[in-house]
Amino acid sequence: MKRINILFCIASLFWLGCDDPSSEESKRPNILFLLADDMGYGDFERIGGSTETPNLNRLADEGVFFNNFYAAGPNCSPSRTGLITGKSPAKVGMYSYRPPEHPLHLPDQEVTLAELLKTKGYQTAHIGKWHLGELTENPEFNHPQPKDHGFDYSLGTENNAKPSHLNPINFLRNGKALGLIKGYSCQIVAQECMDWLNQKSNDPFFLYVAFHEPHAKIASPPKLIEKYANLPLKNAKYLANIDHLDIAIGRLLDYLEQHSLMENTIIMFSSDNGSYRLASNANLKAVKSYLYDGGIRVPGIVKWTGIKTNKKIIDTPTGLVDVLPTLCEITGIDPPKDLDGTSFLPLLKGKPFIRKRPLYWFFYRTVPEIAMRVGNLMILGLDKDTIPRPHQFSQDDYGYLKTISLKNYELYDLDQDFSQENDLFDTHPKKDSLKALIETQLAEIKNNLYPWEDLPLRLEHRKNKKNWVRY
């Protein structure tokens, strides 16, 4: 009997260990995060897109597709901030797209996914578009560089590939400008990823790949444009650009397979926001830079051998802010306490998922200014001002953030109203509770504003980075 009890205990521990992420993931899986730029929800072929995306299809077939996946913001800089910090961009001072030489940047004190993974021995690299601050060769420039945010290696551009995706001139490698590089941006990025993987050690890696495609200015290979010759040239170039992006992703997937890395690599794919083309957003309302679903709902794919759910499509609302806590849970890292995202690992395991706080977005430039998704419902709040504000965030705009108040609301049932055409706010029984919830969230944002004078980083703050507190 004693022997039986011992065997039972051993078997129980084994079973529990297999179900426990901290035990199961002790192998420290590699992480490959693939981010498109301005790719709309409807650009994914499986959603009904007109372009060919066989490699993204492959990822979704071998993993899961998140059907209600959301960007962290409606344009570039805020969304990338939410991805890398797990927080609302408005709470970390990234209120909008940042133009060149603008004070907005990801503050050095914010804890990033790369920094957290490095505590578990990960090698880290960022390759592609940065857009979280000024990239520069000047060592005295006060914006944190990728190395200051936890990346061992970086090849990137501050914003878009210039003058276009073809033969870009604005890439920097580890802070050194490279000048003209022959070829197309997505293939340059893919090749750099493989070169970095070739020279890294055997430690696990976190590779953040931020493609420039299909952000304008579009440049696509003529042979791919010919595939869509039945369409107007502008549309053909755009679809060819998605096609070309997919080919670059395919090269990376092939590399992982050829080097026996696929089995122990988590692969995630998404986009930083919706497309600027209505036709790319699958009849979702609005486009990039708006808080309707056309601006923030994006493709979401996860491929990983640790997926246990039988579902191929997950409808539970999730988003980029959830990536950091998810990867922290998988790798056994204690995440920061003040996150807005929630780990969606339970969904990958086929278990119940409870979101710690609703998905929400704040964007001062457009109307509505704030949105929140709770289950199948999306509530949006509007100030009285109906004129979009300037693209370049200014001190005057910062003053507006302090005084914004919601005057009107919209409410949509997204299960029944995919295109957000039927505003239910006046009649919905949950309107008062949702109104109170979104107003509470707006108050929290206003109470966590970075002072304008502190937006330009002071170099002396960096020495306190190890404390991981905001200034």
**Closest residue by Cα to residue 276 from 284, 288, 263, 264:** 288
Whether residue 229 is predicted with pLDDT greater than 60 in this model: the reply is: yes
- Is 301 part of any domain? yes
* Residue 165: CATH number of its domain: 3.40.720.10
pLDDT at position 33 is 98
- Secondary structure element (H or E) that encloses residue 432, with its range: helix 431-447
- Is 3 part of any domain? no
Query: Residue 184 carries which DSSP code?
Result: B
Q: For residues 349 and 404, state if they share a domain.
A: no
* Residues 280-289: tens digit of each pLDDT: 999 999 999 9
Whether residue 230 is predicted with pLDDT greater than 60 in this model: the reply is: yes
Average pLDDT over the chain, rounded to an integer: 89
Q: Is residue 336 reached through a cis peptide bond, with omega within 30 degrees of 0 on the bond before it?
A: no
Whether residue 403 is predicted with pLDDT greater than 60 in this model: the reply is: yes
Q: For residues 420 and 287, state if they share a domain.
A: no
Collapse the DSSP code of 379 into the 3-class scheme (helix H, G, I; strand E, B; otherwise coil) and give the result: strand
3-state secondary structure 234-263: HHHHHHHHHHHHHHHHHHHHHHHHHCCCCC
Mean pLDDT of 321-347: 97
Q: For residues 348 and 365, state if they share a domain.
A: no
Q: For residues 305 and 377, state if they share a domain.
A: no
- Is 339 part of any domain? yes
pLDDT at position 406 is 94
- Is 12 part of any domain? no
Give the separation between CA 12 and CA 275, rounded to whole angstroms: 50
Global pTM reads 0.91
Mean pLDDT of 198-222: 96
Q: For residues 365 and 321, state if they share a domain.
A: no
pLDDT at position 21 is 43
Q: For residues 168 and 292, state if they share a domain.
A: yes
pLDDT at position 343 is 98
Q: For residues 210 and 65, state if they share a domain.
A: yes
Residue located via tokens 């089995």 = 263
Proportion of the chain above pLDDT 70, given as a percent: 89
Mean pLDDT of 186-190: 98
Q: Can you read off the two tokens belonging to residue 203?
A: 């430690």
pLDDT at position 167 is 98
Give the separation between CA 16 and CA 9, rounded to whole angstroms: 10
* Residues 158-174: tens digit of each pLDDT: 999 999 999 999 999 99
pLDDT at position 451 is 74
**Closest residue by Cα to residue 131 from 178, 169, 89:** 89
Q: For residues 119 and 246, state if they share a domain.
A: yes
Lowest-pLDDT range of 112-126, 368-382, 443-457: 443-457
pLDDT at position 225 is 97
Q: For residues 170 and 107, state if they share a domain.
A: yes
Give the separation between CA 112 and CA 49, rounded to whole angstroms: 33
Mean pLDDT of 38-56: 91
Q: Can you read off the two tokens belonging to residue 438?
A: 């979104």
Mean pLDDT of 327-356: 96
pLDDT at position 48 is 82
Number of domains within the chain = 2
Q: For residue 134, what are the domain limits?
A: 26-354
Return the higher-pLDDT residue of 471 and 266: 266
Q: For residues 208 and 110, state if they share a domain.
A: yes
Give the separation between CA 70 and CA 88, rounded to whole angstroms: 12
- Secondary structure element (H or E) that encloses residue 114, with its range: helix 113-118
> Where does 142-221 have alpha helices with state H?
185-199
* Residue 379: CATH number of its domain: 3.30.1120
Mean pLDDT of 7-14: 36
Proportion of the chain above pLDDT 90, given as a percent: 74
pLDDT at position 460 is 45
Mean pLDDT of 429-451: 93
pLDDT band at 456 (very low <50, low <70, confident <90, very high): low
Mean pLDDT of 411-422: 98
pLDDT at position 46 is 86
Residues forming a β-bridge with 361: 371
Mean pLDDT of 108-117: 94
Q: How many CA within 13 A on the CB side of residue 166? A: 8
- Is 471 part of any domain? no
- Is 49 part of any domain? yes
